[in-house]
Structure 1
Amino acid sequence: MASHITGTTRLYGLVGHPLAAAKSPQLFNRLFIEQQADAVCIPLEVKADDLSSFVAGARALNNLAGILITMPHKQRMLAVVDELHPTARQVGAINVIRCETDGRWVGAVFDGLGCVLGMQWEGYYPADKNVLLVGAGGAGRAIAFAVASAGARSLTISDVDEQRAEELAKAVAAETGCITHSGPPDPQGHEIVINATPLGMSKNDPMPVDPDRLEPGTLVVDIINSPDSTPLCTAARKRGCPTQDGGPMHKGQALLALRFLGFDYHPDNVTAPRQE
């Protein structure tokens, strides 16, 4: 990769902490090589307390073309961009910034749309389904709006912070018209269950939902992007449920983010979703 870097190379950074498990740099750099783009993506590990210092320095980089944002900065980055894509205004968080040549930073978020696109690639559609979403943080907020906008029949949002879940449910209902409410993480009666919490990243984590309450045939989506099956997905399959890990969502949001940044990206082994 180093031989491709020149004095004209455009820089893209992945900003977050920690970044040990991050996969975006590999995906972006592989695409840049395939498309012979004079660009490189590098991880930039920035702790929460150091974000303002990072932004001050990054604003001085004339060859910085874009920034990918992951935890814990998705919501705090809202305050530092100059313009918001409609998705970011709706969700209240961003996960990608396009650095324009005139110096403006434009922020957008594609977590939610990427999650829905990932489901559609594998033949699963939220339209007319009762959906349970566990987790109302940055990714959860984005997924809530995207699932509701995709035509879900109803959406139940559960979070350990009950007030946060209730506020998000009200915002989604007002914005999309979807029947949305907050409630316990009970999967019974739902055709799609989505885990948007970190529960499952560590083997000793409790389950985000009780797998014994899952009905056979319920789609279980766990957005954790791990090479190993999460305990939730493993338990769900034993109950006769189809499962999806964080891989399709990661590819979906990468496609949308790359197009936002001006690159044409077609993930391997996926086909365009049929129109419902």
Structure 2
Amino acid sequence: MTITAACCLIGDEILSGKTRDLNSYCLANFLFDLGISLKRIDVVADDDEAIGESVRRLAKDHTLVFTSGGIGPTHDDITYAAVAKAFDLSLEIDNETKQRLTDVATKRQKALTDAHLRMALFPYPAVLVREDPSLLIPVVVVVGQIYILPGIPQLFQRLLYSLKPYFARLIISQGQSLKGFVRREIITYQPETQLAAYLTGLQAEYPKDQLLIGSYPELNGKVVVSVVGKDKVEVDRVADRVELEFKEIKSHL
């Protein structure tokens, strides 16, 4: 079975233009290196119905779903509750996370508040993944496929990359080889109209889940032709054919 992924970005601040999304870009690169296809990205408001509808639909159509945002201490941090509601789960305090929060509050000579406890109130049942013990909160995994992550880019990235060994084990357990995608890019200054027919015919020779060919124009007249697949030999073979067809261009990995 091919492992596919989707992402639900949560936050009024993204939809209003206040915050630029960096997390989906980080996730796309992370999954690319693991050989997992990211198929869809939703962006939804801080609204429990919108979050619930998105994660239910994405979970139905994809193997893995990642959420980003809405798990802090404030009133608009509603992702845990929204996901719990979407799958008819309860919300329960995780004692280990509560203790970690208590230790931090004590160290800072602060009292543990209800706002702190919101960050330890997780959907239940769930799997709590702590691949990096130095991180305060775990990645909460619901219904075996939804990975709930924070919106702060630095924390999102640290938690996500802590999962690399976890996903390596998951991929192997699915009977698949641990092989990431390979990308080769070919640069030309010929217009896309000159490339279109050839690239269309070339893509028709390969299923898109095996090899993906695309062209991406830039304002300076440059066009980047991308060849992506898991078989480096085949990727190089196709990229070489493109170079041969359009002799003046050069390629790079």
Query: Which TM-score band applies after superposition, normalised by the shorter structure?
Result: 0.3 to 0.5
- From the two aligned structures, give the one with the greater helix fraction: 2
> Larger relative contact order (C-alpha < 8 A, sep ≥ 6)?
2
Q: Work out which of the two has the higher radius of gyration on C-alpha atoms and give 1 or 2.
A: 2
